Chains A and B, each alone.
Chain A
Amino acid sequence: QSALTQPASVSGSPGQSITISCTGTGSDVGGYSYVSWYQHHPGKAPKVMIYEVSNRPSGVPDRFSGSKSGNTASLTISGLQAEDEADYYCTSYTTSRRLWVFGGGTKLTVL
């Protein structure tokens, strides 16, 4: 069982917006601004899409945005494109013994 809770799957049509939630506790998501999101295409290296809750690395389209409220972080993808179809993972830094906790991953299907 993963430390952070994500929906197993979400789907949307091209051009639509979707939001993936990531729920933790006050010891991780709620306690720090160190939530990051990763896009993972099977067989490839994961790619960071959002860091520190809402920051986008250079090269990541502004269709990707992040936010946090309490113990729940969210990744929103607007203007869905076929290439967005992938697995998405959230992670949070935590000062518990685990240091980093991941969500179980969400499979995004672009219909």
Chain B
Amino acid sequence: EVQLVESGGGLIQPGGSLRLSCIVSGFTVRSNYMAWVRQAPGKGLEWVSVIYSDSSDSKTYYADSVKGRFTISRDNSKNTLYLQLNSLRDEDTAVYYCARVSGGWYFDYWGQGTLVSVSS
């Protein structure tokens, strides 16, 4: 059974840092494209970042809104995806979901999400 379980969210002050984790079971993260998608309160979904598979050189890409502040990575030995969030802003407040990217450029498996609240 495929499971993605996010953790690491919480209340953080503007300018602070946080690391989100997504523990995956049922497939290997190194062989798949993995992404983070977020949803701000009362807003729609927004793609945040993607990391390609090992065979695709583990390339990483970011939405303009987070480029230079967020870093996506994975630990193959732990089958875990990460998102390092630095220089957090109020507008980064959202539920953050990890998801697997399927071959047709869609997200076929999702976690339940972890809430990040940025507030002073």
Residues on A facing B (Cβ under 8 Å): 2, 32, 34, 36, 38, 40, 44-48, 51-52, 55, 57, 89, 91, 93, 97-105
Contacts and interface: CB of A to CB of B under 8 A. Distances in A.
Contacts of B44: 2, 89, 102-105
B106 A45 contact: no
Interface string B79-120: 000000000000000000101001011111011110000000
Interface in B42-78: 43-47, 50, 61, 63-64
Q: How large is the interface on B (under 10, 10 to 19, 20 to 34, 35 or more residues)?
A: 20 to 34
Interface of B: 4, 35, 37, 43-47, 50, 61, 63-64, 97, 99, 102, 104-108, 110-113
A94 B113 CA distance: 24
A89 B45 CA distance: 8
Contacts of A93: 105-106
Given A2-B44, A100-B47, A103-B44, A46 B64 contact: no
B104 A55 contact: yes
Contacts of B46: 102
Contacts of A40: 45
A48 B61 CA distance: 22
25 contacts: A34-B105, A36-B104, A38-B107, A45-B4, A45-B97, A46-B45, A46-B97, A46-B99, A46-B107, A48-B106, A52-B104, A91-B45, A91-B106, A91-B107, A93-B106, A97-B64, A98-B64, A99-B47, A99-B50, A102-B44, A102-B45, A102-B47, A103-B44, A104-B43, A104-B44
